[in-house]
């Protein structure tokens, strides 16, 4: 049984150490054979670094490393080329000056390893000199591989002056590549986001973007068909363990938890980091999500809570998915680019396709919603669990007073600096709590006379819910608060009854509750409940 390469991004170490390797070399062959400048966007921890390291070994001519893999028996000649490999995630970028100095230091170190001296006043000058010098030294054109191209920008998305200054640094730096075309054999850049691509690569306009290309949708990640082939023995080793004795089909449960990522709506792949972590830890868990949440997403969630109310079956154009302007960030394209949404289906209406998006799997959906609660309330995950379990127990029992107590406790934990005067803020937190509990609460549900804020349907109960938020002065008297509550609750219940939101469910054989919830802020919450006869 081959070892599991958890955290290993070096191709030679995987091969020489007898670790599992899912063969991507036919893709690499096709890349080399068809063009010379490429760009690929994929979520973090999805195998981009290993892909670039594998490409590097191909161009270094290390054929014996590839014995048993597709490219070894192909007609590829394994001709040696000098390789420049840069990982921008390892380049400090706190300020544009730090970024420039770090790039120059890195390039000088690469030159030193080649026993070469290069000179220049800016990173672009050193980069140009290094490429020319390597070409001259080896008599072969140079290969340039750049990982996490966008890191100097996405680290500062809410510090726009720094992000813009860093963008100008890397724009000039990457722009060198076009003028170096006579010295370059192959160039490949990867990153998480596409929103920076247009503004960064405006001068390098000969890049072929293979992010959504049908031929390369599984260039990173593990296809479900490869699961038994490469990990069958590992799956079998889990069956005797107590944690899996009640799991009828471990293979299918792995697919449910970690599969589902797609860039064409047809071919789906498993998150490699989550899969390997699952086998190492011998349990299901949100490993990829726990490995690090991008700070810019956390900030965006706090800034635009209504954007995260319902992330099911979204429809977008490819132009929207690219989200090219980081000065006008849109949450949902970023969620797609960073791996929290994926392509469910591509619909062709005329020339331009529409992309239907959804969350890829159980890991992402449950962990994302749980983190929403923790972000908005600044409570720890264990404290968030306590709120959620109390809420779930009360709703399953039909005990609405206890559900209200749990709701008050949850919102009382929200610091004043995070409180947002928006109905959608409260609605989105409640929605996230329900999803974490395993309830599939539907929002903005269409009925004959309008849209219901939320419907929570259990095996024997249905809760038809309207949320109302009223701004309340901090020094308001109890009488004033009660007046606002009464008006909001009356409005919510009249909306449910007047538009017949509940009638869709009254013939279901389930107990139907009409629930109006009014928020005045934090733990100032009241609820009115009517049972449908």
| Domain ranges, residue 518 | 378-531
Q: Is the per-residue pLDDT at 112 higher than 60?
A: yes
Per-residue pLDDT band for 420 (boundaries 50, 70, 90) equals: low
Q: Is the per-residue pLDDT at 382 higher than 60?
A: no
Same domain, 323 and 390: no
Per-residue pLDDT band for 305 (boundaries 50, 70, 90) equals: low
Same domain, 212 and 227: no
pLDDT, tens only, 438-487: 676 776 665 555 567 788 888 899 998 888 888 888 788 889 989 999 99
DSSP string, 379-400: --HHHHHHHHHHHHHHHHHT-H
Residue at 3 is within a domain: no
Residue closest to 400 by CA, chosen among 247, 517, 249: 517
pLDDT, tens only, 308-319: 655 666 888 877
List phi, psi (to 5°) of 518: -120, 135
In this structure, what token pair is assigned to residue 460? 């024997």
Same domain, 388 and 356: no
The residue-averaged pLDDT of 279-291 equals 88
**What pLDDT is attached to residue 157?**
78
Residue at 367 is within a domain: no
Same domain, 227 and 204: no
Residue at 371 is within a domain: no
**Which of 54-58, 149-153, 286-290, 465-469 shows the lowest mean pLDDT across its residues?**
286-290
- The residue out of 192, 216, 240 marking a domain boundary is 216
**What pLDDT is attached to residue 297?**
67
- The residue out of 193, 216, 239 marking a domain boundary is 216
The residue-averaged pLDDT of 216-238 equals 95
**What pLDDT is attached to residue 448?**
52
The better pLDDT of the pair 51, 418 is held by 51
Mean pLDDT over all residues of the chain? 86
Handedness of CA 351, 356, 361, 363 (dihedral sign): positive
Q: Is the per-residue pLDDT at 51 higher than 60?
A: yes
pLDDT, tens only, 477-529: 889 989 999 999 999 998 888 888 788 888 888 999 999 999 886 668 899 99
Residue at 373 is within a domain: no
pLDDT, tens only, 319-356: 777 765 666 677 778 888 888 899 999 988 777 788 99
Same domain, 46 and 173: yes
Q: How far apart are CA 131 and CA 334, in angstroms?
A: 34
**What pLDDT is attached to residue 236?**
95
Residue at 4 is within a domain: no
Same domain, 491 and 454: yes
* Domains identified in the chain, total number: 3
The residue-averaged pLDDT of 160-164 equals 90
**What pLDDT is attached to residue 498?**
83
Q: In what order do the strands lie in the sheet with 142-147?
A: 83-87, 142-147, 184-191, 37-41, 208-209
Q: What is the CATH number of the domain that holds 487?
A: 3.40.1350
3-state DSSP: the chain helix, strand, coil percent, rounded to 5?
50, 15, 35
Residue at 396 is within a domain: yes
Q: Is the per-residue pLDDT at 293 higher than 70?
A: no
DSSP string, 165-233: HHHHHHHHHHHHHHHTGGGEEEEEEEES-STTHHHHSSS-TT-EE-TT-GGGTTSSSEETHHHHHHHHH
Same domain, 353 and 483: no
pLDDT, tens only, 24-42: 999 999 999 987 899 999 9
- The residue out of 160, 194, 216 marking a domain boundary is 216
**What pLDDT is attached to residue 275?**
97
Same domain, 341 and 462: no
Same domain, 458 and 349: no
DSSP β-ladder status, 269-270 and 314-317: unpaired
Which range of 49-53, 434-438, 496-500 scores highest in mean pLDDT? It is 49-53
């Amino acid at each position: 049984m081959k070892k599991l390469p958890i955290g290993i991004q070096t191709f030679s170490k995987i091969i020489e150490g007898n670790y599992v390797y899912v063969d991507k070399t036919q893709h690499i062959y096709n890349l080399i054979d068809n063009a010379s400048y490429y760009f690929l966007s994929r979520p973090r921890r999805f195998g981009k670094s290993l892909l670039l390291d594998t490409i590097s070994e191909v161009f270094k001519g290390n054929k014996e490393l590839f014995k048993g893999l597709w490219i070894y028996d192909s007609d590829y000649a394994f001709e040696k080329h000098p390789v420049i490999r840069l990982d921008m995630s390892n380049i400090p970028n706190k300020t544009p000056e730090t970024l420039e100095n770090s790039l120059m230091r890195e390039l000088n170190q690469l030159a030193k390893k080649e026993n070469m001296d290069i000179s220049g006043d800016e990173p672009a000058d050193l980069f140009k000199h290094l490429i020319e010098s390597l070409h001259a030294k080896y008599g072969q054109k140079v290969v340039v591989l750049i990982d996490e191209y966008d890191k100097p920008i996405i680290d500062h998305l809410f510090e726009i002056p720094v992000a813009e200054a860093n963008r100008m640094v890397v724009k000039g730096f990457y722009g060198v590549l076009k003028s170096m075309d006579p010295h370059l054999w192959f160039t490949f850049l990867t990153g998480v986001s596409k929103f920076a691509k247009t503004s960064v690569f405006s001068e390098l306009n000969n890049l072929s973007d293979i992010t959504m290309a049908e031929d390369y949708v599984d260039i990173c990640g593990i296809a479900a068909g490869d699961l038994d082939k490469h990990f069958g023995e590992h799956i079998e080793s889990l069956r005797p363990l107590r944690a899996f004795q009640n799991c009828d089909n471990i293979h299918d449960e792995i697919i449910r938890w970690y599969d589902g990522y797609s860039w064409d709506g047809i071919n789906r792949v498993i998150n490699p980091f989550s899969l390997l972590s699952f086998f190492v830890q011998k349990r299901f868990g949100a490993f990829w999500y726990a490995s690090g949440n991008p700070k810019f997403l956390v900030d965006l969630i706090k800034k635009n809570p209504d954007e995260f109310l319902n992330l099911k079956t979204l429809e977008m154009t490819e132009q929207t998915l690219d989200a090219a302007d980081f000065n006008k960030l849109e949450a949902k394209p970023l969620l797609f680019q960073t791996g929290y949404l994926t392509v469910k289906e591509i619909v062709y209406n005329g020339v331009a396709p529409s992309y239907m998006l959804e969350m890829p799997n159980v890991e992402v959906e449950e962990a994302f919603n749980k983190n929403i609660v923790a972000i908005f309330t600044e409570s720890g995950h264990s404290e968030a669990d306590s709120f959620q379990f109390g809420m779930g127990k009360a709703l399953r029992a039909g005990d609405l007073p206890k559900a209200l107590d749990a709701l008050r406790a949850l919102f009382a934990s929200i610091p004043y600096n995070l409180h947002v005067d928006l109905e959608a803020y409260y609605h989105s937190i409640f929605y996230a709590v329900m999803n974490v509990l395993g309830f599939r609460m539907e929002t903005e549900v269409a009925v004959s006379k309008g849209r219901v804020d939320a419907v929570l349907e259990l095996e024997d109960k249905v809760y038809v819910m309207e949320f109302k938020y009223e701004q309340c002065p901090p020094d308001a008297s109890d009488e004033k608060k009660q007046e606002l509550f009464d008006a909001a609750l009356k409005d919510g219940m009249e909306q449910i009854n007047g538009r017949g939101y509940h009638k869709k469910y009254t013939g279901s054989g389930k107990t139907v509750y009409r629930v109006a919830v009014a928020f005045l802020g934090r733990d100032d919450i009241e609820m009115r409940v009517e049972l449908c006869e």
